[in-house]
Structure 1
Amino acid sequence: MDFNNNKAIYLQIVEHVCEHILLGTWKPEEKIPSVRDMAVSVEVNPNTVARTYELLQQKGIINNKRGVGFFLSTDAIQQVQSYRKAAFIDDELPQVFKNMYLLEVTTEDIRRMYEAFIKQNFNTK
C-alpha cells in the first residue's frame, strides 16, 4: 500500500478497509484479516493496524469476537457510508466549493461531469 504523507497512516488504512466494504470485497458479518495479517499486508507496524481497528470499532463498522477475530458488523455498509459521507462533507467539500467559486465552475458543470463519470466508470445509464 502506498501511503500519502499528508494523512495519518492509520486513517489511510481505515479508508482502505472502507473501500473493501463499499466495493463488496468484504461482506457484512464476514471475518476480516487479523491485526497481524493486515499489518503484513499493508507493511506497517501491528500497533498502527490496532489503532485502525479501534477506530473502526468505535464507528460500529467492525466487531471483535474475543478469541475468534474481527468481523464486519451487520450494517457495515451503512456505517461506512455514514462515516465517509460526514468526513467528505466536513473535510473535502468546503475546498471543492471554494475552488468552484474561484474558478467559476457551475453546479451544472459539475452535474454533467458527474453523470459522465458515473456512466464511464460504473456502466450505468
Structure 2
Amino acid sequence: MEFSENRPIYLQISDVICEKILSGELRAEDRLMSVREYGALIGVNPNTMMRTYEKLTNDGIIYNKRGIGYFVSPGARETVLANERKSFMENELPAILKRIQLLEIDPAIFLNK
C-alpha cells in the first residue's frame, strides 16, 4: 500500500477499510485481520494499525470481541455511507460547484447522463 504524505497513515488505512465496507468486500460481522497481521501485510507499525482500529471502533464501524479480534459492526455500511456523504457535501462538492460555475458548465448536462 502506498501512502500520501498529506494525511496521517492511520486515516488512510481507515479510508481503505471503509471503502471495502462500501464495496461489499467487507460485510457486517466479518472478522478483520489482527493488528499485527494487517500491519505486516501493508508494512506499517502495529501501533499505527491499533490507532486505525481505535478510530474505527470509536466511529462505530468495527467492534472488538475481547480475545477473539475485531469485527465489522452491524450497520457499518450505513454509518460509513452517511459519514462519506457528509464529508463529500461539506468538503468536496463546494469546490466542484465553484469549478463548474467558473468554467460556465451547464449543470443540466450531469442530469442527462
Q: Structure 2 length as normaliser, TM-score?
A: 0.90
For structure 1, which segment, 60-69 or 97-106, has the greater mean C-alpha deviation from structure 2 after superposition? 97-106
Q: What percentage of residue pairs aligned between the two structures are identical?
A: 42
Cα 1:95–1:49, aligned 2, differ >3 Å: closer, same or farther?
same
- For the 8 Å contact 1:3–1:12, the answer to whether it is kept is yes
Q: Which residue of 1 aligns with 2:94?
A: 94
- In structure 1, C-alpha distance between the alignment counterparts of 2:60 and 2:29, rounded to whole Å: 12
- In structure 1, C-alpha distance between the alignment counterparts of 2:36 and 2:89, rounded to whole Å: 33
After superposition, what is the alpha-carbon deviation per residue over 1:11-46, rounded to whole angstroms, capped at 9, x for unaligned? Answer: 111110011111111110111111111111221111
Q: Which residue of 1 aligns with 2:70?
A: 70
How many residues end up aligned between the 2 structures? 113
Q: Which residue of 2 aligns with 1:120?
A: none
Q: Which residue of 2 aligns with 1:16?
A: 16
- In structure 1, C-alpha distance between the alignment counterparts of 2:74 and 2:34, rounded to whole Å: 18
Offset of residue 111 of structure 1: 2.9
* Structure 1, unaligned runs of 5 or more: 116-125
RMSD of Structure 2 on Structure 1 (CA): 1.4
For structure 1, which segment, 26-35 or 101-110, has the greater mean C-alpha deviation from structure 2 after superposition? 101-110
- In structure 2, C-alpha distance between the alignment counterparts of 1:111 and 1:12, rounded to whole Å: 32
- For the 8 Å contact 1:28–1:73, the answer to whether it is kept is yes
